[in-house]
Amino acid sequence: LLAVSIGDGAPTGNYGYTNSGYSVYEEENERLTESLRTKVSAIKSLSIEIGTEVKNQNKMLSEMDNDFDSAGGILGATMGRLRTLSRGSQTKLLCYMMLFSLFVFFVIYWIIKLR
């Protein structure tokens, strides 16, 4: 190592960084850099997890959309049958169906009231 002395007789190894306080700043910068690197790594892993969760949620929403579409198709077909039934001359059957619906409604109401 080369030790050069300044006018006051103190050796200035490492180009005088030790005496001027630059090494303290370098150590602080290294510590802050490492802290920043740790935080960036944590944010990166968190963003990857968020991306994975978003993909899973989008997949579930797509599946729910398909399920609702199929349920809508079934409901549409049922409503079509009911329209066909109501247009026909089968008023007796329609009356029975309405009475059955009222019966079911009152049974459910009675069960709920007993609780």
- The C-alpha R_g of the chain, in whole angstroms, comes to 40
Q: Is residue 62 part of a domain?
A: yes
Residues spanned by the domain of 38: 24-88
Per-residue pLDDT tens over the stretch 79-99: 888 787 667 666 777 788 889
Query: What is the overall mean pLDDT for the chain?
Result: 82
Question: In this structure, are residues 12 and 4 in contact, taking their beta carbons and an 8 Å threshold?
Answer: yes
Candidates 67, 89, 86, 90; CA nearest to 78 is 86
Per-residue pLDDT tens over the stretch 4-15: 444 454 455 455
Q: Is residue 115 part of a domain?
A: no
Sequence-ordered list of residues with C-beta below 8 angstroms from that of 16, at least 6 positions apart, any chain? 6
Q: Is residue 103 part of a domain?
A: no
Task: Confirm whether pTM is higher than 0.75.
Answer: no
Q: Is residue 83 part of a domain?
A: yes
Question: In this structure, are residues 30 and 23 in contact, taking their beta carbons and an 8 Å threshold?
Answer: no
41/35 Cα distance (integer angstroms) = 10
